[in-house]
């Protein structure tokens, strides 16, 4: 059975930046599954009309269609139990769910202010009107005004990461001695920033920076070469 991952892309089809799509791609690599990807621009929703909802990621696994990054992780874990586990047990699954929610709300609220203009610059020409209108509605100001103080948003992000520093103080990965879906959720959030632009958001002496370099290596087969040191 073949698996296809539909994910958002930039004007350059090889540029993939969307955090929830990264979660599903990293989960597929973690499970050592072979898959293909279908890049989708914001204004190409007809490419996955069969999914009957407007957001990515979506995967097709044979005849089955699965939407939403968390549901995709659950599907992969259930359907491929013999492959390396995304959550070793129920406790790990609950922790990963909490991390997924925390990363996509508490942590992610600091991120548009860091990358929104970078992202605007790399998306397809035909997406720009939709992106500007939908994001300006959401943030309540212009992209330019919102992006004017990236340092403020990086500071907010850094402060939020205290929670992760505590979790990583005694282990190499959020999953323990090897990465699991908790690590994937945080890495996917960082990749959103790292693939949209070149803003530095971690200090090199931060233990999270060391963790970041470790997990980039774990999933190196799908990580852009420019991010691997």
Ligand X SMILES: N[C@@H](CCC(=O)N[C@@H](CS)C(=O)NCC(=O)O)C(=O)O
Q: Which is nearer to ligand X, 164 or 188 (CB)?
A: 188
Least distance (Å) between residue 23 CB and ligand X: 7
Question: Hunting for tokens 């693939």 — which residue is that?
Answer: 195
Spatial contact of 211 and 172, defined as CB atoms under 8 Å apart:
yes
Residue 27 interacts with ligand X (CB under 6 A): yes or no: no
Asked, as a colleague might, if the bond just before 57 is cis with ω within 30 of 0, I would say yes
Query: Considering only residues 70-129, where is the footprint of ligand X by CB under 6 A?
Result: 70
By the rule CB under 6 A, 56 interacts with ligand X? yes
Alpha helix locations (H) across the chain? 19-30, 69-79, 90-102, 112-122, 128-139, 143-146, 150-160, 162-168, 181-196, 207-218
Among 5, 18, 154, 168, the residue binding ligand X under the rule CB under 6 A is 18
Stretch that binds ligand X, among 18-26, 87-95, 109-117, 204-212 (CB under 6 A): 18-26
Angle CA(114)–CA(98)–CA(213) in degrees, nearest 5? 50
Scan for tokens 């605007």, then name that residue.
Answer: 120
Task: Work out which of 3, 9, 20, 60 binds ligand X, going by CB under 6 A.
Answer: 20
- Residue 57 near ligand X by CB under 6 A: yes
Binding to ligand X by residue 68, rule CB under 6 A?
A: yes
Q: Could you say whether residue 188 binds ligand X (CB under 6 A)?
A: no
* 173 contacts 215 by C-beta, under 8 angstroms: yes
Region near ligand X per CB under 6 A, out of 12-20, 142-150, 164-172, 198-206: 12-20
Q: Which stretch binds ligand X (CB under 6 A): 63-71, 79-87, 196-204, 210-218?
A: 63-71
Q: How many CB atoms lie within 10 A of CB 222?
A: 13
Using CB under 6 A, list all residues that contact ligand X: 8, 18-21, 42, 55-57, 68-70
């Amino acid at each position: 059975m073949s698996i296809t991952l539909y994910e958002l892309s930039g004007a350059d089809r090889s540029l993939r930046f969307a955090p929830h799509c990264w979660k599903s791609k990293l989960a597929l690599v973690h499970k050592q599954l072979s898959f293909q990807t279908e890049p989708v621009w914001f204004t190409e929703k007809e490419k996955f009309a069969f999914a009957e909802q407007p957001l990515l990621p979506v995967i097709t696994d044979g005849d089955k269609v699965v939407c939403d990054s968390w549901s995709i992780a659950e599907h992969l874990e259930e359907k491929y139990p013999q492959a390396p586990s995304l959550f070793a047990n129920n406790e790990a699954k609950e922790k990963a769910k909490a991390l997924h929610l925390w990363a996509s709300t508490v942590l992610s609220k600091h991120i548009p202010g860091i990358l929104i203009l970078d992202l605007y610059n790399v998306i397809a020409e035909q997406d720009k009107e939709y992106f500007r209108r939908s994001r300006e509605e959401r943030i309540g100001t212009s992209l330019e005004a919102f992006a004017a103080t990236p340092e403020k948003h990086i500071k907010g992000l850094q402060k939020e990461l205290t929670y992760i520093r505590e979790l990583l103080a005694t282990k190499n990965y959020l999953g323990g001695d090897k990465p699991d879906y908790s690590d994937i959720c945080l890495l996917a959030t960082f990749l959103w920033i790292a693939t949209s632009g070149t803003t530095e958001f971690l200090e090199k002496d931060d233990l999270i920076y060391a963790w970041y370099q470790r997990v980039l290596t774990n999933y190196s087969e799908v990580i852009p070469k420019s991010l691997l040191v």
